[in-house]
């Protein structure tokens, strides 16, 4: 093998290494950017979540009972599930990053993006951070209860329209 071929091979290897490092930096910046945005938005979303929870319990669930307001209630419950879900994801991301670091966040993102939530639950369980674990569990329940409840209400309206 000639020196020229060796140099070409080394050049290709170096380009591959540089591309890999740049990719890792971009991915890291994405995760750190998500963490930065979450740290800025989470206080606002926490307040919004508390207000939304109160509205859901005291206004929109009772509005789901009369047939005339069931459609409106269904839409609002569905939107509320996204408020709960966004808060859950941001809190899961920050807890995962704080407790187990960037590697755990990377694994959580690879698991469909929402993997940071179960990883955060596991991390808070192992660390004995009970308040945070309970928050994550309650936000998970609220997210899926509102989403499934909204879909169930919409389905009941469709069923009654065909009867």
Query: pLDDT category, 136, cuts 50, 70, 90?
Result: very high
The domain limits of the chain are: 37-162
Pull the structure tokens for residue 63.
């509005």
Token look-up 């319990």 returns 57
Q: Measured between alpha carbons, how far is 77 from 83 in angstroms, rounded to an integer? A: 10
Full-model pTM: 0.81
Supply the pLDDT for residue 22. Answer: 80
Q: What is the mean pLDDT of the chain?
A: 89
Q: Is 137 helix (H, G, I), strand (E, B) or coil?
A: helix
What are the tens digits of pLDDT across the range 80-92? Answer: 999 999 999 999 9
CA 90, CA 98: separation in Å to the nearest integer?
12
**How much is the average pLDDT of 43-59?**
96
Q: How far is CA 158 from CA 57, 68, 101, 146, in A?
A: 24, 13, 47, 18
Identify the pLDDT of residue 25.
Answer: 76
User: What pLDDT is attached to residue 147?
Assistant: 95
């Amino acid at each position: 093998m000639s020196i020229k071929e060796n140099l070409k091979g080394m050049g290709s290897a170096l380009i591959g290494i540089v591309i890999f490092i740049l990719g890792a930096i971009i991915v890291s910046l994405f995760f750190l950017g998500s963490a930065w945005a979450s740290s800025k938005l989470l206080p606002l979303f926490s307040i919004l979540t508390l207000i939304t929870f109160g509205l859901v319990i005291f206004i929109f669930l009772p509005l789901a009972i009369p047939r005339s307001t069931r459609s409106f209630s269904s839409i609002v419950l569905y939107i509320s599930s996204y408020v709960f879900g966004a808060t859950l994801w941001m809190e899961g991301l920050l807890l995962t990053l704080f407790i187990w670091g960037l590697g755990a966040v990377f694994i959580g993102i690879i698991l469909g993006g929402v993997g940071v939530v179960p990883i955060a639950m596991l991390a808070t369980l192992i660390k004995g951070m009970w308040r945070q674990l309970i928050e994550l569990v309650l936000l998970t329940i609220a997210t899926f209860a509102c989403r499934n409840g909204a879909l169930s209400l919409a389905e009941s309206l469709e069923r009654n329209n065909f009867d």
